[in-house]
Homo-oligomer: A and B are copies of this chain.
Amino acid sequence: MDKKIPYKIYLEESEMPKQWYNVRADMKNKPAPLLNPGTLQPVTLEEMSHIFCEDLAKQELDDTTPYFDIPQEIQDFYRMYRPSPLVRAYCLEKELDTPAKIYYKFEGNNTSGSHKLNSAIAQAYYAKKQGLKGVTTETGAGQWGTALSMACSYFHLDCKVFMVKVSYEQKPFRREVMRTYGASVTPSPSNTTEVGRKILAEHPGTTGSLGCAISEAVEAATTNEGYRYVLGSVLTQVLLHQSVIGLETKAALDKYDIHPDIIIGCAGGGSNLGGLISPFAGEMLRGENHYQIIAVEPASCPSLTRGHYAYDFCDTGKVCPLAKMYTLGCDFIPSPNHAGGLRYHGMSPVISQLYDDHIIEARSVEQTAVFEAAERFARVEGILPAPESSHAIRVAIDEALKCKETGEEKTIVFGLTGTGYFDMVAYEKYNNGEMSDYIPSDETLAAEFAKLPKVE
């Protein structure tokens, strides 16, 4: 064991980031602008401010300011659960018998159970600052809804969560955590919105979809005085807030003069990956350093590895702006897999552009291999990982095993975004040998690509 590096590197509170980093400022090829779905023109600040909080809309559109001060109120909240530990995975290294040095940044050490809280508290803060009564959002797997409920509770904001009906019924514990934090949780589609009533009339027995929940949340935000809509991934404002992950990681590594060779993150909408890699990608963009950055996605929802880079709708309801991103088509429904947070049809425009510019690479993995890695990790490192996070674990283990073959002592850093306490149904399936893999056929994807909107 390397005596110099502790099991867990904690920053002092005084060493915590006081600014977020906006990687777009260092990108020569900027992410393409969001387009108004009606006019196909770039969305203006004014248009955006009808749906989003003003300060957040400004952050969304700003691709030149490299650093944003983190307001003191948010710094205070961060101190309740941050800095998160950068853990040296000594036990996993030993288990794998690898010369690689493995580190993970663990973001699950808060009650929401994931990194989502980093942006939820920021979005709640700006809503409060604007004098709003509350915010609306949708949630599928429930990590984002949980985080937002906690954040709104802290700032005494009302929080209306539209939860996909099937999740509402199958994940009652997630629902109750949100209610414990004072959120109202409505199964979607519901009769509380026009769009919900319309869908219920057309499809009386539907169990809902994320696209429908987004449409209801947006309607609730725009028809209730003093409300705005908030979102937990994909948007560049979210990546900005999540940069706290990468900034802390970099500070902790620098403290011990550690240079990572490989940086790995799971990627659904890109919130965690974008946050983790931003300062490292920034160094690459400025030509100061080089890293191998790997985005890991499920083989069942392979937006980066098999998607098209094109303008597409962000939601299946097609009410939100169009974004240029790697996408499988906004109607693509991934086959059932247990990483609910990685089932989005597209990818953050920032991540998409970095991928297109070869700053990051991507890999897709199958879920049985993911759970095999999850269980192996859990047994030696003592943390039960979320299925989403376990995609990164899978590739970290693969890379460490390559080092074992070649004898290379690479330093691997991966993001462990959350815990799997609410995903035991998936673990049960794996434990019982009942888990399958799903890979969409080329024909399925081609049919979706044919439907992409013709913008360029």
Instruction: Give the chain B neighbours of A425 by CB distance below 8 A.
Output: 173
* Chain B residue at minimum C-beta to C-beta distance from A146: B384
A379 close to B182 (CB less than 8 A): yes
* Chain B residue at minimum C-beta to C-beta distance from A374: B180
In the docked arrangement, what's the CA distance between A11 and B12, Å?
A: 11
B419 close to A111 (CB less than 8 A): yes
1/0 contact string of A369-389 vs chain B (CB within 8 Å): 000000100111111100000
1/0 contact string of A395-433 vs chain B (CB within 8 Å): 000000000000000000000000101101101100100
B153 close to A379 (CB less than 8 A): yes
Copies in the complex: 2
B80 close to A382 (CB less than 8 A): yes
1/0 contact string of A37-81 vs chain B (CB within 8 Å): 000000000000000000000000000000000000000010111
Instruction: Give the chain B neighbours of A179 by CB distance below 8 A.
Output: 427-428, 431
* Chain B residue at minimum C-beta to C-beta distance from A87: B80
In the docked arrangement, what's the CA distance between A301 and B77, Å?
A: 37
Instruction: Give the chain B neighbours of A77 by CB distance below 8 A.
Output: 382
In the docked arrangement, what's the CA distance between A91 and B81, Å?
A: 12
A427 close to B111 (CB less than 8 A): no
Asked if A292 lies at the interface with its beta carbon under 8 angstroms from chain B, I say no
Instruction: Point out the residue from B79, B180, B379 that lies within 8 Å of A8, measured CB to CB.
Output: B79
Asked if A256 lies at the interface with its beta carbon under 8 angstroms from chain B, I say no
Contact A79/B6 with A179-B431, A427-B180 known, Cβ cut-off 8 Å: yes
Instruction: Give the chain B neighbours of A177 by CB distance below 8 A.
Output: 384, 421, 424, 427
Instruction: Give the chain B neighbours of A79 by CB distance below 8 A.
Output: 6-8
